[in-house]
Amino acid sequence: MDAIFASGPVQVVSAIIMATALLQVLALLFSTWRSAVYARDQQELALKLLQRRVEAETLQREIEREKGTSSWSGLRKFRIDRKVAEGGGIASFYLVPHDGKEIPQFEPGQYLTFSLRVPEREKPLVRCYSLSDSPLQKSSYRVSIKRADPPRQNPDAPAGLSSTFFHNSLNQGDIVDVKAPSGNFFLDMSKHTPVVLIGGGIGLTPMLSMLNALCDSGSQRETWLFYGVRNGEEHIVSEHLARMEAENEHVHLQVCYSNPREGADVRGTDYDHGERVSVELFKKVLPSNNYEYYICGPGPMMESMTNGLREWGVPDSDVHFEAFGPASVKKTAPSEKKAAVAGAPELEVTFSKSGKTLKWDGTSESILELAEDNGIDMDSGCRAGSCGTCITAVKDGEVDYIEEPGALPEDSSCLTCIATPKMNLTLDA
C-alpha cells in the first residue's frame, strides 16, 4: 500500500516535467512561427517597396523617353480646349496641340512659355506659366493663371498685361503659340525621400502638378502640402486637395489662412491654421526637418522660407524653389552675400541704345535687374535663362552666368536675366 501511495508524487512530478517541456516546445514553436510570420511580412514589405521603386524608375524612364521623342523646338500652336474658372481670380486653361499630334511628358513643376499676340503691341508678349496638372495626364496641358489686378494700395496702376489678356481675350477654341515645357524647378519622381510642398497663393500651381504626379503614379512617398492664402475667397481646388488627402494615406494637407473671414471661414473645416505658412509652423507640425522642400510663392515668403530653413539646419541642397520674376531668391547666406558685394570690382555696363552707362557693384542680381532699377526697358520672360526672351547682343566685353542657361545664346549675345558682367560691358539695349 505504501508503495502505491509513494508512486503518486512521482507521477505528479513527472506530469509537471512533461507539461513544462510541452510548454517550452509550444513556446519554441510559437516563437518560430512568429519569427517566420515576421520574416514573411518583412519580405513582402521589401518586395512591395522594391516593386514601387521599379515602377517609379520605369515611369521616370518612360517620361524621359516620351520627352525626347515628342518634344519640339521653337513655337507650336495649341488650341484652348477648355477654360475653367477656379475662383479667387484664377482660371485654368486646358491646351491641346492644334496639329493633333502627341504632346511630350514633362517634369512636375516645369512651365510653358507663351508668345502672345496682344493687340496694339508691336512685338509678341512672352510670359511663362507653371503647368498645374500631372504629367501623366497625356491628353492636354493645363496652366492655371491668376488675373493680376492693380494692387489695393495703388488702384490706378495698370493690370497685368498677359494675365488680363488670358482672362479677358482668350476663350475656348482660340489658338496660342507655346514653347515646349522647360525649367529646372521640378520634383524628381525617381526619388523616394519624403517631401514638403509649399505653395503661397498662385504658387500652388507647380505644387498641384507635383502632388497629382505623386498620387497618379502610386508613389508612397510621405508628402506634406502647406498651402497659404488670405482666406476662403482665394482658396482654390479645395475639394480636389481634400480628396487627394482622403485617398492617399501618405498625403498630409495643411491649409493656412492669414486673414480668415469672421463667420465665413471655419477652422477645422475650411482651413487648419489661422496664420501664414512659416518655418515656425513646420517646427510645430512636422515630425522633423528631414525632408526635401519645394517652395513657390511671393518673393518675401520665399526669402523668409529659405533663410528660416537654413537656420533650422536644413541643407541648401534639400531646398528647391521657383524663380520667376520678382519672386526670385538666391540661396546665399546674408553674410556671404554682403562679403561678395563688398569685394566686387566696380565695372561699367553701357546700354548703347538707351545712352546710359551704369556702375556695377554687385548689388543687383543680374544685368536685367540693373537695367530695370535704372529705368531701362528690356524684354524678359521666365527670368530663369530658359525662354530666350531677354537675349541681347553684346557689343563689347564678356559676361558670366549665375546659373546654367537652359540653352546658350548665339555668339556675341547674352541672357541678361541670369548674366553678370565679367568686365566692362556694352550692350545693344
DSSP string covering 150-167: PPTT-TTSPPPHHHHHHH
Residues 6+ apart with CB under 8 A from 31: none
Render 337-386 in DSSP notation, one character per residue: HHHHHHT---EEEEETTTTEEEEE-S-SSSHHHHHHHTT-----SSSSSS
What is the predicted pLDDT for the residue at 13?
Answer: 72
Residue 340, pLDDT above cutoff 60 = no
Range name among 143-147, 160-164, 284-288, 387-391 with the lowest pLDDT average: 387-391
Distance CA 156, CA 86 (A): 26
Binned at pLDDT 50, 70 and 90, residue 109 comes out as: very high
In this predicted structure, which of 113-117, 120-124, 182-186 has the lowest mean pLDDT? 120-124
pLDDT at 42: 72
Taking the C-alpha atoms of residue 329 and residue 327, their distance in angstroms, rounded to an integer, is 6
- What percent of the chain has a predicted confidence (pLDDT) above 90? 59
Of the CA atoms within 13 Å of residue 397, those in its CB half-sphere come to: 21
Mean of the pLDDT values across residues 308-321? 95
What's the pTM value of the predicted model, to 2 decimals?
0.74
- Quickly state the pLDDT bin for 20 (edges 50, 70, 90): confident
pLDDT the model gives residue 289: 97
The answer to whether the Cα torsion of 199, 203, 208, 211 is positive or negative is negative
pLDDT for 140-179, tens place per residue? 999 999 998 887 777 777 888 899 999 999 999 999 999 9
| Whole-number pLDDT of residue 204 | 96
Residues 6+ apart with CB under 8 A from 315: none
- Predicted local distance difference test score (pLDDT) of residue 8: 63
Judge whether residue 326 has pLDDT over 90.
Answer: no
Mean predicted lDDT score pLDDT of the chain: 86
Average pLDDT over residues 410-415: 87
Asked whether residue 288 carries a pLDDT value surpassing 80, the answer given is yes
Give percent above pLDDT 70 in the chain: 85
Residue 138 in this model has a pLDDT that exceeds 90: no
- The stretch 406-417 carries a mean pLDDT of 83
Q: Which residue has the higher pLDDT, 310 or 71?
A: 310
Higher-confidence residue of 311 and 34: namely: 311
Res. 278: pLDDT tops 60:
yes
Q: Tell me: pLDDT of 245 over 60.
A: yes
* Neighbouring-strand partners of residue 115: 126, 177
Residues in the chain: 429
Regarding predicted confidence, which is higher, 13 or 331? 13
CA dist 257 and 151 (Å) reads 20
**How far is 318 from 46, CA to CA, in rounded Å?**
26
Decide if pLDDT at 283 tops 60.
yes
Average pLDDT over residues 370-378: 90
Of the given ranges (29-33, 63-67, 212-216, 260-264), which has the lowest mean pLDDT?
Answer: 63-67
Q: Is the pLDDT of residue 40 over 60?
A: yes
Helix, strand, or coil here: 320?
strand
